[in-house]
Amino acid sequence: MTIASSASTKTGRLALSERIPLVPVVRALVRRSLVAITRTPSALAPILLMPIFFMISFSGSYSAITRIPGFPTDNIYNWFVPYACVQGAAFSGIGVGFTTARDLENGFFDRLRLAPSGRPALIIGPLGISVIRASFPFVTVLPIGFLLGADFPGFGGLFMLAMVSAMVSGISGLWALGVVFRLQSQRSLGLVQIGIFSTLFLSIGQVPLSVMDGWLHGAARVNPTTNLLRMARQGFLEGVTWEMTWPGLIAGIAMLSLLGLFAITGFRKVEK
């Protein structure tokens, strides 16, 4: 027995040399999730079909709002297609919450915790799954949006949308993990959904700030999601600019940091 392993036996923690490296564990967790998706494709319905439905119904119902003075485009699809992609990315976090809550309820998460891997893998793994899931609506909503009449935003615009989708999936995934780690039940997913829906609703998801009135204007102005949506939409509206990009980056990084802390402190509650 090595010195390191005897020390680990005494403290109950594994020495760094004995732990499985982070990357293979994260990769295994991501692969497990992808296999689960192929076995139950219905789980993909919310992140694939809902954004497509929202894109079509919002664009159809609210097509006339582009005639309101101050609306930044006369093509309703340019407004709602990137929003639908971001929505799909946000829903991917809910899926990760479901998986983790189920693992917590059936005891599989305890077995993961007992495995000789670093704790960060149990947060980074689900986060990776969330980001991969976010790419599904990105590749389904966009082609349909272009077919319906959305303008091509250029590769810069696409990159911005992809970056925001990745950040939003991470944000929603961390939010879901934080809640699920604390409440350790699939029922807590209702709270996760309410948080995500409210954040999206109380932003410039449906109309720009210049068209809003009343309390929603105040709420959307301070909601960091507004900056993320501006960053995501810029290629579809007036072209990619640094002025529209940096507030989104800062909002994304700040939300990831805060919700990362929320998830980590939640994970510590599971450990206790």
Structure tokens at 6: 């005897």
For other proteins, the closer of residues 28 and 212 by Cβ is 212
Binding string, 205-244, against other proteins, x = CB under 8 A? -xx---xxxxxxx---------------------------
Residue 147 interacts with other proteins (CB under 8 A): yes or no: no
Binding string, 40-59, against other proteins, x = CB under 8 A? ---------xx--x--xx-x
Residue 206: count other Cβ atoms within 10 Å of its Cβ: 17
Residue 154 interacts with other proteins (CB under 8 A): yes or no: no
Determine phi and psi for 20, rounding to 5 degrees.
-75, 135
For other proteins, the closer of residues 28 and 219 by Cβ is 219
DSSP string, 173-228: HHHHHHHHHHH-SGGGHHHHHHHHHHHHHTTTSSS-GGG--HHHHHHHHH-HHHHH
Report the DSSP beta bridge partners of residue 20.
117
Residue 63 interacts with other proteins (CB under 8 A): yes or no: yes
CB of 190 to other proteins, least distance (A): 8
Closest CA to 97 of 43, 28, 141: 43
For other proteins, the closer of residues 82 and 126 by Cβ is 82
Residue 24: count other Cβ atoms within 10 Å of its Cβ: 11
Report the DSSP beta bridge partners of residue 117.
20
For other proteins, the closer of residues 205 and 248 by Cβ is 205
For other proteins, the closer of residues 62 and 108 by Cβ is 62
Residue 98 interacts with other proteins (CB under 8 A): yes or no: no
CB of 65 to other proteins, least distance (A): 6
Identify the burial level of 41 via C-beta atoms within 10 angstroms of its C-beta, where 0-12 means exposed, 13-18 middle and 19 or more buried.
exposed
Applying the rule CB under 8 A, the residues between 176 and 205 that interact with other proteins are 190, 198, 201-202
Residue 73 interacts with other proteins (CB under 8 A): yes or no: no
Whether residue 247 contacts residue 163, with contact meaning beta carbons closer than 8 Å, is answered with no
Residue 61 interacts with other proteins (CB under 8 A): yes or no: yes
CB of 219 to other proteins, least distance (A): 9
Q: Spell out the residues 6+ positions from residue 164 whose beta carbon is closer than 8 angstroms to its own.
A: 86, 89, 228, 229, 231, 232, 248, 252
DSSP type of residue 117: B
For other proteins, the closer of residues 112 and 207 by Cβ is 207
Identify the burial level of 214 via C-beta atoms within 10 angstroms of its C-beta, where 0-12 means exposed, 13-18 middle and 19 or more buried.
exposed
Determine phi and psi for 117, rounding to 5 degrees.
-125, 160
For other proteins, the closer of residues 7 and 49 by Cβ is 49
* The binder of other proteins chosen from 4, 16, 23, 68 (CB under 8 A): 68
User: Which positions touch other proteins (CB under 8 A)?
Assistant: 49-50, 53, 56-57, 59-65, 67-68, 190, 198, 201-202, 206-207, 211-217
